[in-house]
Amino acid sequence: MGKVAAKMKVMPQSPDIDLDELQQKLEESLPQGAEIRNVDRDDVAFGLVALLPMVVVPDDAGGTEAVEEAFSGVDGVESVSVEEVGRL
């Protein structure tokens, strides 16, 4: 069984969101078998900063859909998108 790495973009609802706290909530929301390898930050505009987590999931887990749904349900998240996907 292989693994898939996906770079995701998580937009917070406002620039006032504590990004460290949001990152912690994202890590806690991960479905079983998924893990976050690292998280970059991207200045978007007007003080808004997006989190760019690199998420690794098992190849047979149905892709990143479960992670996207989990991240979307976290309080303070405006949107979630997949930027890049590759196999490990």
Two tokens at 15? 């620039």
Instruction: Give the span between the Cα atoms of 37 and 7, in whole angstroms.
Output: 10
* Structural domains in the chain (count): 1
pLDDT of 84 higher than 80: yes
Tell me if 15 sits within 8 A of 60, measured CB to CB: no
Tell me if 23 sits within 8 A of 41, measured CB to CB: no
The pTM of this model reads 0.91
Residue 59: predicted pLDDT:
82
Greater confidence (77 vs 47) lies with 77
What percent of the chain is predicted at pLDDT more than 70?
A: 97
Residue 82: predicted pLDDT:
96
pLDDT tens string 14-34: 999 999 999 999 999 999 989
Instruction: Give the span between the Cα atoms of 14 and 28, in whole angstroms.
Output: 21
User: Domain containing 62: what range?
Assistant: 3-87
The CATH number of whichever domain residue 27 belongs to comes to 3.30.70.60
